[in-house]
Amino acid sequence: MAEGVTALAARHHPSVALHFHPQCFLSAGHFAGRDDQRAAAFIEVANDPSFDALWFGRGGYGSGRIAEEVLGKLNDAARDKAYLGYSDAGAMLAGLYASGFLSIAHGPMPADITRAGGEAAVMRALDYLMTRSTEALEPSVASSGKVVAFNLMTFSQIIGTPLQPDLTDHVLMLEEVSEYMYRIDRSLLHITSNKAVQRVAGIRLGRCSAIPDNDPPFGQTEVEIVQHWCKRSSIPYLGRADIGHDADNKIVPFGGLGQART
């Protein structure tokens, strides 16, 4: 995976120097290394001014476990750095955004190269990291104010914790994968019941893919579900977002174009 991404980068962006931290290749139970190893690797790269960006290798589960430790140890170089990832990485992205970091984006990761058509996703991410390519962006970002994007379940499980950022006046984009429809419903009920979330400018729904069969059928589509909870919580539903656990996943710079560095 690392070789494929490195080769792709060399072909299309010869000036890029990708560094896969050795921690990426560790294994400790469910995780790529123990928490202390993963936290140390993150802090090492984030705090090193010779790196322009910290690109999350993959999702799964685990970034939230080390977020508190990491966030307490980041320096000024870390604040100048770009961060890119999605899915479980959203827990850390949320914490970075809550901490006032300015260059955070939701978008493809190196592991996406293993998807069908995944090279395009990885190239999109590299284009964004190297040039802040506007073609890499989720289409509604250009005409929106502040924006953020999260995996639905990941966002649900930072509600009411120090990682939850103030999203007042933000467009909140949410995507999901491999969750039953009743769980998509429950997560949206959870999120839209939070008073702070109710201050968002609106919600856009990304793709909800690989939904296991509900037994019995749930009775509503994911769009009907989000429309229901938006109406109930007086949050504007703004339509679909071009994000998801797939190769088409576009990039959403947290804060919107006003925040993204060029």
Q: How far is the CB of 48 from a second copy (least distance, A)?
A: 27
Q: How far is the CB of 165 from a second copy (least distance, A)?
A: 13
| Among 84, 129, 137, 163, contact with a second copy (rule: CB under 8 A) | 163
Q: How far is the CB of 190 from a second copy (least distance, A)?
A: 4
Output 157 or 209, the one with its CB closest to a second copy. 157
Amino acid occupying residue 224: E
As a whole number of angstroms, the distance between CA 139 and CA 112 comes to 20
Is 213 a binding residue for a second copy by CB under 8 A? The answer is no
- Cβ atoms of 107 and 128 closer than 8 Å: yes
Is 134 a binding residue for a second copy by CB under 8 A? The answer is no
Is 7 a binding residue for a second copy by CB under 8 A? The answer is no
Is 158 a binding residue for a second copy by CB under 8 A? The answer is yes
| Among 214, 240, 247, 257, contact with a second copy (rule: CB under 8 A) | 214
Q: How far is the CB of 34 from a second copy (least distance, A)?
A: 9
| Among 13, 79, 186, 240, contact with a second copy (rule: CB under 8 A) | 186
| Among 23, 87, 156, 249, contact with a second copy (rule: CB under 8 A) | 156
Is 85 a binding residue for a second copy by CB under 8 A? The answer is no
**Binding residue count for a second copy, defined by CB under 8 A:** 36
As a whole number of angstroms, the distance between CA 93 and CA 24 comes to 18
Binding pattern for the stretch 28-67 against a second copy, x by CB under 8 A and - elsewhere: xxxx-----------------------------x--xx--
Q: Taking contact as CB under 8 A, which single stretch among the options 22-30, 107-115, 125-133, 143-151 is the one that binds a second copy?
A: 22-30
Task: Give CA angle at 39 (255, 162), nearest 5°.
Answer: 45
Q: Taking contact as CB under 8 A, which single stretch among the options 2-10, 21-29, 51-59, 170-178 is the one that binds a second copy?
A: 21-29
Closest CA to 203 of 167, 174, 163, 181: 174
Residues that bind a second copy (CB under 8 A): 27-31, 61, 64-65, 68, 156-164, 181-183, 185-187, 189-190, 193-196, 214, 216-220
